Amino acid sequence: MTDTRTPHDPWQWLEQRDHPDVIAWLEAENRLSEAWLSQHQDQREALFLEIRGRIRETDLSLPACKDGWLYYQRTEAGAEYPRYFRCRQQGAQDLSIDTATEDCLLDLNELAGDGFLQLGDMAVSPDHQQLAYSLDRQGDETYQLFLLEIATGQVRELDLPRADGSLLWSNDNRTLFAISMDHTSRPATLWRLEDGQPAVEIYHEADQRFYLHAYRSACENWLFIASDSKNTSEVRLLPANSPTAQPQLVSPRSEGHEYDVDHGMGKLWIRSNQSGENFALYCADPAQPQQWVLHTPCSSEHTLEDFYVQQTGLILQYREQGLVCLQVHSNQSRYHVSMPDPVYSLHLQGGEDYTSPCVRLRYESLNRPAQVRALELATGAQQVLRDTPVEGPFNAADYRVERQWATTADGTRVPISLIGTVDSFQQAAPLYLYGYGAYGASMDPWFSHARLSLLQRGWIYAIAHVRGGADLGEHWYQMGKLENKENTFSDFIACAEHLIASGLTRPDLLTVSGGSAGGLLIGNVLNQRPELFAAAVADVPFVDVWNTMNNPDLPLTIGEYEEWGDPREPDVAARIKGYAPYEQVKPQAYPPLLVTAGYHDVRVQYWEAAKWVARLRSCKTDDQPLLLRTQMDAGHGGASGRYQAMREVAEEYSFLLAVVSNGH
């Protein structure tokens, strides 16, 4: 492939991972950042203590029910990680913990020591005698696999290099399935693992655009092997009772055809976009998986986003006007699940057996901490099983939640979700505007214990639901990718301008934030309209998009062509160069900026942030703070411990409060 990278890139040398000069440069940037941030150490520490003070540090999760067992986790004050337990269930609806039959399955604090630790997956064998689990000790999303004999406590490591961490049992209690990654960190090969036997390759996905994953059906009688690119799917099924059987194809891949499959109530259920971009639902006999029968046709009004199967009912998840709506089909009846708030986040959460008459819903809003609710499928009755506690003074009624709409130059109305105290809406206030806008990821409003520290200081928090996400359905996503990518940036700017024009904030009070692909968004709008913002935060930002997309040897690059385009095509090349933040840095004044990176990040390489900061520092015409904080022992998700994560948020908030305080 011809090298089409940025010519004469003065900061390309920062891509030399582990070179002493690169390490020294990153560490020097960390020292500069700490020197600036330490001037506000009192504020940073106060924020950390506030955030920590709202968390119930010693807590017990809501147990998940499985075949007469309860599985749950405990957190303890001072411990970075949870401990995982199980006990016998005392009765069909009884969720009380029986300490007499309790087993500690995993103590992540003991496993972590002082280093990084990320739990990838936990899978209990069908007979509940063994626990398979995976651990990432570096942050590069490469996992070691382990098998615990629960009765004896004996642990052994399973030999599968470059494992992606996922684990799946067959019903024989002996056979595990796991996936390994190729040299670009793409999940590519499914293996069958049996005690004492060499791993057997089951399926290899050769197309670099496709990612492999495997999962159990709702009824647990089938295993599914799915290959997915950004716009095309292919699924194979395997009887869970016959792990050595030949996987059977559900439907051969066809460019642009996306589908996903589950099994329950004696049928295969298939959500597919073959008849329209908003998806329809089909069913089929597992013996003839390619003969589909239409169950729910495609709608022009809303997107069928997902579906769930229980023994006693089918749940369809729609996306309508930026909100998740659930429709239940049970006992020959249909009904919609109602929710108490006008702006919220809702999804099904595991925890009940397939045969249970109930499912669990996770529900939250900007001013309502997450609840787990039991939904009785036959009647629609709901019961709150657990409220996430907020320690200290908190009253949801003290906060005003709104949805407003910004209008773009092309007439598109873009939703904005907002929360603040009643007083903060009465005059121009400091405002934190968050955006993402990629991969069809919907930014449903969520509650944050940490965010209260800003709200209680008179700030407003807002989410711009820009195109590129699927907040308003599949079409919303399609209108913010490939040749439509500029809509993501113009939508965000329109939201900022709307918030200023409405009197809620001013440019000297408006801060913006985004991470990963949302960092690309932040980098772009700062180049376009730096005068519009008082400060910005870019977490692990995908800002060197042009050079990354021109390097197919980097992790995950080729699979990204369907999201951003193939830069070997001249029109695509011109488009990406035109919006790439690193390419478009120019001599002008930029607002204060805090940038983070993870040295072991395989999704967005550390050097994207580093090169961007270096170019900004060499070009910008102001003396505003420009800080780069690289976590040298972490990856894409930042620090792994919960207290470490709180400190990262406290640091970000202390930065924003420091740079905006002069304008408020």
DSSP H or E run through 556: none
Residue whose tokens read 């095309």? 232
DSSP H or E run through 406: strand 399-407
CA–CA separation, 607 and 25 (whole Å): 11
| 341 backbone dihedrals φ, ψ, rounded to 5° | -110, 155
**The amino acid at 555:** P
CA–CA separation, 297 and 261 (whole Å): 16
β 431-435/510-515 pair status? parallel
In eight-state DSSP terms, residue 129 is S
| 53 backbone dihedrals φ, ψ, rounded to 5° | -70, -20
In eight-state DSSP terms, residue 635 is B
Taking CA 227 as the corner, what is the angle to CA 221 and CA 232, rounded to the nearest 5 degrees? 120
CA–CA separation, 307 and 217 (whole Å): 12
CA–CA separation, 116 and 268 (whole Å): 41
Secondary structure of residue 148 in the 3-state scheme:
strand
Secondary structure of residue 196 in the 3-state scheme:
coil
DSSP β-bridge partners for residue 647: none
DSSP structure string for 288-323: STT--EEEE---SSSEEEEEEEETTEEEEEEEETTE
| 391 backbone dihedrals φ, ψ, rounded to 5° | -75, 150
**The amino acid at 233:** S
Tell me which residues are annotated as active site.
516, 601, 636
DSSP H or E run through 644: helix 642-660
DSSP structure string for 172-189: TSSEEEEEEE-TTS-EEE
Smallest CA-to-CA distance from 82 within 128, 47, 44, 122 is with: 122
Q: How many other C-beta atoms are found inside a 10 Å radius of the C-beta of residue 552?
A: 16
Four-residue CA torsion sign, 414, 419, 423, 428: negative
CA–CA separation, 25 and 178 (whole Å): 39
Four-residue CA torsion sign, 247, 251, 252, 257: negative
| 568 backbone dihedrals φ, ψ, rounded to 5° | -75, -15
Task: Look up residue 646 and give its two tokens.
Answer: 């709180």
Smallest CA-to-CA distance from 277 within 308, 253, 303, 297 is with: 303
Label each residue of 65-110 as H, E or C: EECCEEEEEEECCCCCCCEEEEEECCCCCCCCCCHHHCEEEEEHHH
Residue whose tokens read 């092309």? 410
| 651 backbone dihedrals φ, ψ, rounded to 5° | -65, -45
CA–CA separation, 44 and 446 (whole Å): 24
Q: List the end-to-end C-alpha distance of the chain, in Å, as a whole number.
A: 53
CA–CA separation, 452 and 47 (whole Å): 10
504 and 528 in contact (C-beta within 8 Å)? no
CA–CA separation, 414 and 435 (whole Å): 12
